[in-house]
Structure formats: C-alpha cells, structure tokens
Structure 1
Amino acid sequence: MSDKVIRFGGSNAASTSSIKNLIEYLGQFQNRNFIVSSAVPELLQIVENNIRQVYKSDAGKVTRQIEQIFIKITGELPTQGYQKLVEQYSNILKGIGLIGDYSEALSDQVKSFSEKLTVEIIKTQFQKNGVAVTIIWPEECELFVTPDFGNATYLSVNSSKLQSLPGGVYLIPGSYGITRQGKIARAGKTAADYTAAFLTYALKIPKLQLWGLDFDFQRADPSIFPTSPRIERLTYAEASELAYFDHYSFHPRTVDPLEHDHIPIEVLNSSTSSGEIDTIINTETYIEDQIVKSVACTDDISLLRLNGPGVGLKPGILAKVTAGLTDAGINIKSVITSQVSINLILEKSAADKALKIMQQPGFSSVKEISVVKNVSLIGVVGHGMQQNYGVSARIFNAVSQGKINVLLSGSGASDLVSYLVVKDEDKQKSVREIYNAFFNF
C-alpha cells in the first residue's frame, strides 16, 4: 500500500466526528500518512485582522483570543507547543508596531501562524483519540518556494527525508513554504490544497485526497439552489474554473503539479470513515448530456471600461493597461474586448484604485474611462460548449425569458466556460433561469 497525502481543512479541526472518521479511515493504512492542514478559519481571521491593524493591536488581547480558540476546540488548556507559537506571534506583532512598517515577507511570516497554530490543535485532537502524530514543519522537510510573497510557487521538497520516515501519521501546515534565503512565503490564502498537490507529485503518490470541502462542487450556489446536486466528475480545467467563484472552496492552483502526470484528485466525504468519494477530478474529459456542469456566480467583481474609436487600432493599448494594473498589484480576472472598447473584470475592491491609475496621462486613444460597480459575474461551466450546437443560444434564451439585461458577455476563449455580467440584483434570477434551462427542462 502506497503512502497517502490528505488535505484536511482547518474547519474540520473542531468537528469530533470528522476527526474520528479520519482516524478510522487512516487506520486501514500502515504506511506514511501525510495530513496537510489549512488554517482554522477563526484563527486565520484573527491573524489577518491583526496584520491589517497591527499598529492598533493589543498583543495581550490577541494572545488571549488565540488561546481561547485552542480551549474551545479541544476542551483543554493550550499545549506547550501552542503557547510557544503564540508567544512568537505576539513578539513579531510587537516588533512590527515598534518598527512602524512591515514588508510582504514579514506579512507572510505573520500569516503563516494561522496554519502553524492549527496543526498544534489537530495534533491534540488526534492524541485525545489515542493516535500519535508528528508535526513536520516546511522548514524541516525543505519545502522550497519562489520568493513571490503571497503568491509563491512550490519548487522542491526533500522527498528522501519524507520517504525515509517510518509508517505513521504526519501533520504538515499547508499554504506556505521556505525561500532559498530562508524566508517564509505563502502560496496564497487557504492554499493547503496546492501544498498537498505538490507533495503528492513530489512523493510520487498515485492520488491526492481532500478530506471534504467547506463548499462542495455543486451544480449551483446552494444558497440559491439548496437542493442542487453534487458534481461527481470534473476535469482539472473545470475544477480550476469553478475555484474562482465564491461558493467553492478549492484552490485553483491545486491542479498545477498533478496535471502532467495525470494524478487524480478525490474529494472524500468527511462524514463517513469509508473513504467514500464525493467528486473525482482528473484529465478525462467527461461531457454530460446537458453539457453544462455548473452555473456559478460571484459578487466580487467590478468592470473597468476603456472606450474609444482607437483602442482596437493603436498597438500596445491593452499591454499598457494591464502593465499599469499589474504594477499596482491589481489582479485582472478576465478581459473582454471589442474594436472600440476594452472591458476588464477586476475584484470589487480594486475598482477605484484602477480608475485612478487609468486616468493618468498616456492613453490618448481612450476617450472614456469608467468603472461599473454593483455587478455580478455568472459562469456557465462545462466542457463541450464549442462542439455542441445551441448551448449559447440556450443560455441567452434563458436570461431573455427572465427579462434580465446582460451588461457584458464572453465565450469562445475556452471550450468550458461562458461568462455573463449582470446587475447584482439580477444574480440570483440569472442563476435560476440558466440552471432551469439545463437541469430542469
């Protein structure tokens, strides 16, 4: 039996049943079981709030808050290892407050405590159930990443060291690694999926297993369609596309290390101990009869619009726009263009900052620059859209019958997604109409 890598969500740390089910499941396997954990959401929130308000933070109050989370989840007083981490975290916060500034590298170091503290909590939970576990820190196993703080890429790990360990359960805090200069760099918020995927690839393990998801892969947002069925089969590309929407909890870079070697991902049902598979993700392009697999949505967008008769004629306009936004640290979710208009889909919080950048001199071909807020993005996802007649017609017929005005649309960039931008007040209605057109016809 081969080793296993299982991503364990921090939200499961407080679930007695989920912990017991995982322990029972792992009891079937005698080799090395590497459990890669994301952060307890409450811990992550405290850590992120304090790094944003570091100059106003009361270190003593923060320490008590973090200690109370341990007590609330485990029912026990904090362990020595947990207290040591809390002290380190508190000292760093105090240091930032004295210095009066902090770098991206220091920010990543502070945020990594959310995962470090979480594995101490999970270790205690396992020990309460009579299971001995060992924590392996990324520093110890030489889990190297690029120095792209906040968005690091995994490079290598000391596979020989991990493969030389005796059989047992090993906890690894996810979402961060170490640069060649010895600094902590995070791969992104809640990027434990990606961490686990890289370790699966590096250790040549035949599959990655995710111990449940906070938000399952479903046909539609469950807040809009509470009875929406779970999606049983997805391709890497479909899963990555859906990861960008609010109602899915899957890191979009998870597939990166696995795709070349066709390593599948299994989402296991955490409410059972049998390893029941809810969703399998692999390279096999499985096209369903209705083509569409999910109608996804998000409110976290704004539109940056650059209009002018010369935007499609003058070379370099789009490059200059994207470079300016990139230099300002603004992520571009998507670009939809015509000969007289460039439309960039951005995060909602980036709208005003992006507008100021674009209003600077240097865009003589652009006659009008504006941002559109209070909009939602609808993603209709599923392989086979370009090979099957009538899919786009069905989408637009659905929103037309619902008397929904589409502000912007885009399709054809790939075979698996069509985008619609609508007013946020029309989001739920749009999802319902399109969902019914493909699943309740």
Structure 2
Amino acid sequence: MFVFKFGGASVKDASGIINLASVVKKYTGNQLLIVVSAMGKTTNALETLTRAYVDQTDNMHLIYDGIKQYHFDILEELFDPKHPVFDDIANTFVEIDWMIEDEPHDDYDFIYDQLVSIGELVSSRIVSAYLAKEGVTNQWLDVRGYIHTDNTYREGVVQWDKTRDSISKGIPLLLEKGVVVTQGFLGGTSENFTTTLGREGSDYTASIFAACLGAESVTTWKDVPGILNADPKLFADTVKFDELSYSEAIEMTYYGASVIHPKTIKPLQNTHIPLLVKPFTDPSASGTVIKENGVNRFEKPVIIMKQNQVLLSVSSKDYSFITENHLSDIFKLFAQNQVKINVMQTSALSFSVCFDFYEERFEKLLQTLQQDFKVKYNTGLSLITIRHHADGAVKELVAGKTVLLEQISRNTAQVVVR
C-alpha cells in the first residue's frame, strides 16, 4: 500500500492534472491513497481573500471571483461542459459565499481555516473527477472525518488515538475497491469545524495516513528533482541528496527547509516508513529517499532561507538582569500566542528572538509583552541557516547585508540579516 502526495505545483493547471493521472495509472495494481494540495498559489490567494474579508475591503469580491475563475478555467480544459464536476465545484465554493455574507468572526485564525481550506476541497474533487474520467476507479474522501484535531486553528494538534481509529477502521475497505483521493493540510474538530495543520501541511497529512495504515512508503511529488542543498530559485549549482537520514531531514525541516513540512518525519520514523521526494515531471527519476539508515553526504553546505522574519528584543523595565523567571514568563506568552521561535539569544539585560511574521499573532504578542517588558523589534528581515558550513560560507552569504544577529555552532550557523 502506497501513499502519494501531490503538491500545489503539480496540480497548478490542466496539464499538471493530466500528468498526475498518468503517474497514478502506473500504480493502479497497488493499493493507493492520494493526498492533494490546493492548486498552484490558491492558498496564497485564499489568504489574501481572508484578510480582505476580515478588513471588509472593497476588492474582496474581485479576489474571490479571480479564485473561482482560475479553477473553472482548468475545468473547461479537462471536462465536457455538462460534466457534473462543474456543479460539485460550484457547490463547494458556496461555503465561501455563505461565510463572506456574514460579519467577520472575532477569531482570525478560525476564519482563516474555514476559508483557506476550500482550496484543498476543490482541488481534490477535480483530481478525483479527472481520474474517474480516465478510467481510474477512485473514491473521494473528506479528510476532516478521519484526521481529528483539537481547536488550535492554523496549527491543529492531531488527536492520534481517535485519528488512528478512524483511519484504520474506514480506509482499508475503500482501498480494496480502488484509489482513495483526499485533501492535505486539513483536519476536523469534534464540533465539526475545519482546522489546518500549518502551511505546507499536506506532507504531514500523507505521513499521518501512512503511519496509521502501515504503508510501504510515502512519495511526495515536487517540482524539483529531490531534496537539494539549497533553493534552486535563489542559488545556482545546487546539488541533490540521493539519501538522507530521518534525523538530518528533521534538522533541515526544523530550520525551515520548505520542501517538507516539519512534522512529516516523526510519524514515518516511528513506523520505519521511508519518504521519497520525487519530481512529478520525471516519475522514473530516483529523487531523494529519507529513511532510517539514510547516508548523509554533504558536498556543499545546506542553505535554508526564511523571509519575512521579525527580530524582537525584550528587556526588563528596571534594567535588572534577564533571569530564568523572566524567560519562563516570556516563553509562556510566545506559546499562548502560537509564535514559534526560530533563533534565540540571551544577554545580561535582554532576550532576543527571531520568528516568522504573522500580523495578528505578532500584534497580540507585542501587546502582552509590553505590559511587563521593554520591547524593540525589526520586521522584514531574513534568516539564513547554514548546515555543515565550510570555511568562508557564512561570510560569503552575508556579504552586502546588515547582520543583526549571528549564532554559530559546530554544525549550524544562523544569521538574521536586513
């Protein structure tokens, strides 16, 4: 039994979905579960729509019309105009119509999950319909009834016992009848609200299903030849890893390597299931295999860039030392506001942290911190992480940039730059 995950780039247009079907047909003799992301940049567009809805801006309906038109243009390339999938997609979008007719709810993260989740629901329905058209027997599945989470919107925490029970009882019978097509990134609460698992969470979804079903492997199909030492859009002469160990992959994703969601590896490591990262344009290529005893070979340093970062420094209002008690209070506020720290550094009088900028969370965090501490911050920064850095690598990467924070250990260097 295999689990495939197709990312947004692999289903961004009609030709991508046609290619997906050709890949799936090569494996129809096996039990196969397919996890589908939103098409192309749909998640970004739905995030823009969410912000427009919350702010009640004049362009809200224009943004929404553009999202719908993008999907219906793809449908027109793939299906006869009378195909029932047109009604299915229109009915799915109705969920957004209902939401944006009402006044915005106070909880931004809740609104985000209910709106942004439509991307995966639409894309998976289109993929399922096209596979059926191509003669691939398949069942569309609403993942929200199988991956159960708590009410932490935008970062749903999986309730593993309930999830494992639902998947193990419901999915094997469906797999015996044909391919199962479902959504990545999404979960459901006990109150039947939608949660998301964090950006790029479709990889995590695939690993959850694989772990619960005892899959032979997970394959995530990407627009790159495998896992590279750096983003090919930012760096020339990148090299591909043929193999990686679970531990090295976890380190890379922890520091922000976007090719895999950070939570993906743990369920696979616990169940000894390999993860294959392969190019959807060349299914026969070897890609990268992540496994228990994967061999790590580093011809070049691993370079990970994270944009849109905040560097924030906290100090006491009376110039006293930053103590363990202060740090305990500060960490509690970060946890309460769901802000994850990427780098931290302590001096006698201040505590500095770098983290991803999410406006709503940042504003709430800032308000609570300023009640008891002096706070300074810079936004619009970049975090460069270099794993297995060689002599001169850090200096070369920061040339011409203003370094605001630097931290270097034996294996990893991290630099926050403007």
TM-score with structure 1 length normalisation? 0.78
The equivalences for 1:382-397 within 5 A come to: 382=388, 395=393
Q: Tell me the secondary structure at the aligned position of residue 257 of structure 1.
A: helix
Match of 1:427 in 2: none
Q: Tell me the secondary structure at the aligned position of residue 83 of structure 1.
A: helix
CA separation in 2, counterparts of 1:223 and 1:68? 28
The equivalences for 1:26-175 within 5 A come to: 26-54=25-53, 55-56=56-57, 64-74=65-75, 75=77, 76=79, 77=81, 79-94=86-101, 96-97=102-103, 101=106, 104-140=109-145, 142-154=146-158, 155=160, 156=163, 157-165=166-174, 166-175=176-185
Task: Report the Cα offset of residue 349 of structure 1.
Answer: 5.2
Contact 1:31 1:167 (C-alpha < 8 Å) held by counterparts = no
Match of 2:194 in 1: 184
Match of 1:345 in 2: 354
Question: Does the C-alpha gap of structure 1 residues 22 and 128 become closer, same or farther in structure 2, counting only changes over 3 Å?
Answer: closer
Match of 1:197 in 2: 207
Instruction: Please list the CA deviations of residues 382-418 of structure 1 after superposition, one character each: whole Å capped at 9, or x if unmatched.
Output: 4xxxxxxxx6765566579x58764422244xx7532
Match of 1:10 in 2: 8
In structure 1, the gaps of 5 or more residues are 383-390, 425-441
Match of 1:419 in 2: 414
Instruction: Please list the CA deviations of residues 1-40 of structure 1 after superposition, one character each: whole Å capped at 9, or x if unmatched.
Output: xx11100113222152663365345434423211101111
CA separation in 2, counterparts of 1:239 and 1:15? 32
CA separation in 2, counterparts of 1:241 and 1:233? 14
CA separation in 1, counterparts of 2:259 and 2:244? 15
CA separation in 2, counterparts of 1:102 and 1:299? 26
Contact 1:152 1:187 (C-alpha < 8 Å) held by counterparts = yes
Match of 1:438 in 2: none
Q: Tell me the secondary structure at the aligned position of residue 220 of structure 1.
A: coil
Task: Report the Cα offset of residue 79 of structure 1.
Answer: 1.9
Match of 1:330 in 2: 339
Contact 2:92 2:121 (C-alpha < 8 Å) held by counterparts = yes
Question: Does the C-alpha gap of structure 1 residues 216 and 28 become closer, same or farther in structure 2, counting only changes over 3 Å?
Answer: closer
How many aligned residue pairs are there?
399
The equivalences for 1:214-363 within 5 A come to: 217-243=227-253, 248-274=258-284, 276-284=285-293, 286-288=295-297, 293-306=301-314, 310-312=320-322, 314-348=323-357, 356-360=367-371, 362-363=372-373
CA separation in 2, counterparts of 1:223 and 1:139? 34
Question: Does the C-alpha gap of structure 1 residues 66 and 120 become closer, same or farther in structure 2, counting only changes over 3 Å?
Answer: farther
Contact 1:63 1:90 (C-alpha < 8 Å) held by counterparts = no
Question: Does the C-alpha gap of structure 1 residues 68 and 376 become closer, same or farther in structure 2, counting only changes over 3 Å?
Answer: closer
Instruction: Please list the CA deviations of residues 58-107 of structure 1 after superposition, one character each: whole Å capped at 9, or x if unmatched.
Output: 7865664344223322324452211211223212221x33x665564454
CA separation in 2, counterparts of 1:217 and 1:398? 23
CA separation in 2, counterparts of 1:123 and 1:399? 44
CA separation in 2, counterparts of 1:347 and 1:359? 19
CA separation in 1, counterparts of 2:30 and 2:294? 32
Question: Does the C-alpha gap of structure 1 residues 296 and 24 become closer, same or farther in structure 2, counting only changes over 3 Å?
Answer: closer
Contact 1:26 1:33 (C-alpha < 8 Å) held by counterparts = no
CA separation in 2, counterparts of 1:408 and 1:101? 36
TM-score with structure 2 length normalisation? 0.82
Higher gyration radius (CA): 1
Task: Report the Cα offset of residue 162 of structure 1.
Answer: 0.8
Contact 2:407 2:415 (C-alpha < 8 Å) held by counterparts = yes
Matched, 1:20 2:19: yes
Question: Does the C-alpha gap of structure 1 residues 125 and 245 become closer, same or farther in structure 2, counting only changes over 3 Å?
Answer: farther
Contact 2:49 2:60 (C-alpha < 8 Å) held by counterparts = no
Instruction: Please list the CA deviations of residues 319-348 of structure 1 after superposition, one character each: whole Å capped at 9, or x if unmatched.
Output: 112223333443322212234442211224
CA separation in 1, counterparts of 2:235 and 2:122? 36
Q: Tell me the secondary structure at the aligned position of residue 405 of structure 2.
A: strand
Identity of aligned residues (%): 20
Contact 1:123 1:133 (C-alpha < 8 Å) held by counterparts = yes
Contact 1:63 1:86 (C-alpha < 8 Å) held by counterparts = no
Instruction: Please list the CA deviations of residues 231-287 of structure 1 after superposition, one character each: whole Å capped at 9, or x if unmatched.
Output: 32223343344346777332111112112122210012211243x331112233634
Question: Does the C-alpha gap of structure 1 residues 340 and 56 become closer, same or farther in structure 2, counting only changes over 3 Å?
Answer: closer
In structure 2, the gaps of 5 or more residues are none
Match of 1:431 in 2: none
Q: Tell me the secondary structure at the aligned position of residue 260 of structure 1.
A: helix
